[in-house]
Amino acid sequence: MRSRKTRRGMAVAAALVSAGLVLAGCGGSDDGGSGEASGKSPGEGKAECEQLTQFGDLTGKDVTVYTSIVAPEDKPHIDSWKVFEDCTGADVKYEGSKEFETQLQVRVQSGNPPDIAYVPQPGLLQTLVGTGKVVEAPDTVSANVDKWFGEDWRSYGSVDGKLYAAPLGANVKSFVWYSPKMFSENGWEIPTTWDDMLALSDTIAATGIKPWCAGIESGEATGWPATDWLEDVLLRSVGPDVYDQWVAHEIPFNDPAVVESLDNVGAILKNDKYVNGGIGDVSSIATTAFQDGGLPILDGKCALHRQASFYAANWPEGTDVSENGDVFAFYLPAMGDEFGNPVLGGGEFVAAFSDAIEVQAFQTYLSSDQWANEKAKATPNGGWVSANKGLDIANLASPVDKLSGEILQDPDAVFRFDGSDMMPGEVGAGSFWKEMTNWITGESTQDALDKIESSWP
Amino acid sequence: MSTGEKFIQMVIAIAVFFAVVAVILLLTQRLRSRRGELVQSAAFVLPALALIGVGLLYPAVTTIYQSFLDRSGDAAVGFDNYKTIFTDSDQLIVLRNTAAWVILVPILSTVIGLVYAVLVDRSRFEKVAKALIFLPMAISLVGASIIWRFVYDYHDKSQTQIGIANAVIKGLGFDTYKFILNDPWNTIFLIIVMIWVQAGFAMVILSASIKAIPDDIVEAARLDGVGGFRMFRYITVPSIRPSLIVVLTTISITTLKAFDIVRTMTGGNFDTSVLAYQFYREYFVSANQGLATAIATLIFVLVMPIVIYNVRQMRKLEAR
């Protein structure tokens, strides 16, 4: 009798504990909805806090940020929020992931979105807005975007005319990295036309080095650097208007002009004489991490590497990135005079999944000229620019960033946003990447483009 | 919500549950009859059943239902998604790879684990030897994949090698090899990672059951003049047969769910994708809900018989 009682007691206790755990698991956190500013801002009276005092005291409030930016590039971001944290008392929690593009959708669909996400693709932003979970940008952010950004940048962050996400950083992709020292030792000149560039490649190839190096491996995003290649060449050969039509799918993805452009890319990237300097043959491009793609330049085993301005962060510490240093970048030449100097670029946008006051305050801060300058100062090694017109070019650290900043703020530059980032996620972050990878490892140009076309939703 | 608040919430939740259970106990304890016991057990089983229903049955049924809808889940398409799995050339490669995984990983892991367990049994350095092969079990599959990606790293023969595999090949004077790239062998090199992790598991379970073979059987066999390989074939293996089956089936299930290795090492590129990874990609990247859920259902159908067989074997093992 006694033993039965004890056993029953044990069973009850076990049931209690396990059920308690289940219930505790169910009790999720819910953030307070939109709030009114209340309390006296900790930054009251300080000059640098002028734009932030309107949000009141946010002490003890958390803002979670989810991005695709991982170490070491995340530190400047975290540093640039110090003013915000000091002025409002709120705490910003950072999380970066290389699998951001898919993981963000997983989190949104499972009801666990971050407060803020840095979305690097307008196409992904559209998908996210389609889920109904993205909160429209508050008026303070909208006003900042009108004041500090051009009309085109506002449109990249808008869906159906409504602004959802303010632009954050930007980058210029039409760059070719090279070694100024290596060039001057060999008497090579920086090419100013596409044909000059091919002639230079032949000259370099004749010396026994493979002139170009590349890497497109990037986890689940493997293939994206090759999509930039195609976009850059397409923009140069058919001009910005046809490029826009292609991005919007008004002409088919496998249009003859696109086939020709990809063949032009192939003349470099799939040319065994040209690639893959310091690494291997053509197919080794597919398995080389994009971060490592340009590094053979430092060993003198490769001369040219087409990659965006942000590649500056991947050179090892101590590398002199300047006009006469170890490495620098030149503008990927145009293919003719017809379309001026087209520039391909990208950027991130700040999407919010919460309308809490601290989140709005943070969005406002990020869209301000103040943040842009803080970020520039917090990035002593360079590798970051913004299209924010309030950004003082003098605050940018590296010569490459200054060059990029000037291009971005130049009202006459023919700037176009990275096309794959504006296409629907199924293509821009799916089949386009995958088929470009297959194209590198042997698939024909026509087959690759046909497959992408057929995957367009 | 701060951690403190969360704890308070948890305590409240537990208290509420305590109260509910107390009420159930109070209400049912007076029922002494046969029916009373039924009510009593129902009161305790139903909440568990409800949780299983919400957490397991509902998603399973929804998934199966969605697998008959089109990519956005708007219109019914019958068995079209299943047809795609078995006819589309890309999907067929996925099936081929999955078959290779499910056949090779359980068999090789178990064989390696078994042979190893027998060889080190009662030897002087048994503990160290076991620890060595068990260590990979402690590494997550993602971690293991990153390690092996470095092992398989490819550079042209004329360059400095980073990966140990190609460094050895180059040292022997051969051309370096693209482990990750060359289809179909790259799937085998991914499978090796899984075997590296799972062999330790097989070895530990099998070693324990080898030690549990009664000494009198072994001695009787010895007196009859059995030794070496025949001892292994006629005494050891038959005695540990139930454990062998449990190990085989458990690893089979793990393998059918293999995802981390493919995702980390190739991202499904170069024809290395498997079902579990393809499901994820179709759902979250290609936004093809219908095909994705059809793949999920297929995995479910494939795992089901193994699970049932496994549970039966475990019951037999317990009944001994």
Question: What is the 3 state secondary structure string of B127-162?
Answer: HHHHHHHHHHHHCCHHHHHHHHHHHCCCCCCCCCCC
Domain count, chain B: 2
Does B147 fall in a domain?
Answer: no
> Do A24 and B17 count as a contact with CB atoms less than 8 A apart?
no
pLDDT of A35 reads: 52
Same domain, B217 and B309: yes
> Do A20 and B17 count as a contact with CB atoms less than 8 A apart?
yes
Between helix B185-211 and helix B241-256 the angle, nearest 10°, is 150
Q: Residue A407: phi, psi to the nearest 5? A: -60, -45
Interface of chain A toward chain B, CB-CB under 8 angstroms: 12, 15-16, 19-20, 22-24, 27, 29-30, 102, 105-106, 127, 219-223, 278-281, 283-284, 286-287, 301, 425-426, 429-431, 434, 437-438, 441, 455, 457
Q: For B227-280, what is each residue's pLDDT tens digit?
A: 788 888 888 888 888 888 889 988 988 898 888 899 888 888 888 889 999 898
CATH of the domain at B280: 1.10.3720.10
Largest CA distance in chain B: 86
Q: For A432-445, what is each residue's pLDDT tens digit?
A: 998 999 999 888 99
Same domain, B113 and B252: yes
pLDDT of A262 reads: 92
CATH topology of domain A47-172+345-410: D-Maltodextrin-Binding Protein; domain 2 (3.40.190)
Between helix A100-109 and helix A122-130 the angle, nearest 10°, is 10
> Do A430 and B264 count as a contact with CB atoms less than 8 A apart?
no
Per DSSP, the three-state class of A166 is strand
Same domain, B7 and B90: no
Interface predicted TM-score (ipTM) of this complex, two decimals: 0.76
> Do A24 and B9 count as a contact with CB atoms less than 8 A apart?
yes
Does B96 fall in a domain?
Answer: yes
> Do A27 and B269 count as a contact with CB atoms less than 8 A apart?
no
Does B153 fall in a domain?
Answer: no
pLDDT of A26 reads: 42
pLDDT of B316 over the 80 cut? no
Same domain, B112 and B202: yes
Alpha-helical runs (H) found in A218-283: 224-247, 256-269
Give burial (CB, 10 Å; 0-12/13-18/19+) of B160.
exposed
Does B118 fall in a domain?
Answer: yes
Radius of gyration of chain B (CA): 26
Residue B202 and residue B112 in contact, taking contact as beta carbons nearer than 8 Å: yes
Q: DSSP letters of A191-231?
A: --SHHHHHHHHHHHHHTTS--B----BBTBTTTHHHHHHHH
Residue A370 tokens, joined: 């103040």
> Which domain-ending residue is among B40, B66, B92?
B66
Quote the CA–CA distance of B265 and A286 in Å, as a whole number.
12
- Domain range for B88 is 83-140+186-319
Q: Would you tell me how many other CB atoms lie within 10 Å of the CB of residue B26?
A: 9
The domain spans of chain A are 47-172+345-410, 175-344+418-455
Does B74 fall in a domain?
Answer: no
Same domain, B61 and B91: no
Residue A385 and residue A309 in contact, taking contact as beta carbons nearer than 8 Å: yes
Same domain, B57 and B101: no
Same domain, B136 and B268: yes
Which residues of chain A are within 8 Å of residue B17 when distances are taken between CB atoms?
Answer: 16, 19-20, 23
Which residues of chain B are within 8 Å of residue A287 when distances are taken between CB atoms?
Answer: 154, 178, 180-181
b/e map B41-74, b = 16+ CB within 10 Å: eebeeebeeeeeeeeeeeeeeebeebbbbbbeee
Same domain, B133 and B217: yes
- What is the distance in angstroms between the Cα of B299 and the nearest Cα belonging to chain A? 20
Does B9 fall in a domain?
Answer: yes
Q: What angle do CA B74, B75, B78 make, to 5 degrees?
A: 135
| Nearest of B236, B219, B193 to residue B101 by alpha carbon | B193
Q: For A334-364, what is each residue's pLDDT tens digit?
A: 888 888 888 888 889 999 999 999 999 999 9
Which residues of chain A are within 8 Å of residue B284 when distances are taken between CB atoms?
Answer: 102, 105-106
pLDDT of A16 reads: 46
Which positions ≥6 away from A301 have C-beta within 8 Å?
A209, A210, A213, A277, A278, B159
% of chain A with per-residue pLDDT over 70? 91
Which residues of chain A are within 8 Å of residue B287 when distances are taken between CB atoms?
Answer: 127, 425-426, 457
Quote the CA–CA distance of A75 and A378 in Å, as a whole number.
9
> A175-344+418-455: which CATH architecture?
3-Layer(aba) Sandwich (3.40)
Which residues of chain A are within 8 Å of residue B90 when distances are taken between CB atoms?
Answer: none
pLDDT tens, residue order, chain A (457 aa)? 444 444 555 444 444 444 444 444 443 344 444 456 667 777 777 777 888 888 888 888 899 999 988 877 788 899 999 989 988 889 999 998 888 887 898 888 888 899 999 998 888 888 888 888 999 999 999 999 999 988 888 888 998 889 999 999 888 888 999 999 999 988 898 998 899 999 999 999 998 888 999 999 888 788 889 999 999 999 988 888 899 899 889 999 999 999 999 999 999 999 888 988 888 888 889 888 888 888 899 888 899 999 988 888 788 888 888 888 889 888 888 888 888 888 888 889 999 999 999 999 999 999 999 999 999 888 877 778 888 888 888 888 888 888 888 888 877 677 888 888 888 878 888 889 989 999 998 889 999 999 999 888 7
Does B166 fall in a domain?
Answer: no
| Nearest of A124, A346, A311, A148 to residue A232 by alpha carbon | A346
Residue of A12, A220, A279 best to disrupt the B interface, most CBs of B under 10 A: A220
B68-81 mean pLDDT: 84
Distance of CA A442 to the CA centre of its chain: 28
Identical topology for domains A47-172+345-410 and A175-344+418-455: yes
Which among A105, A280, A434 has CB closest to B284?
Answer: A105
Higher per-residue confidence, B74 vs A418: A418
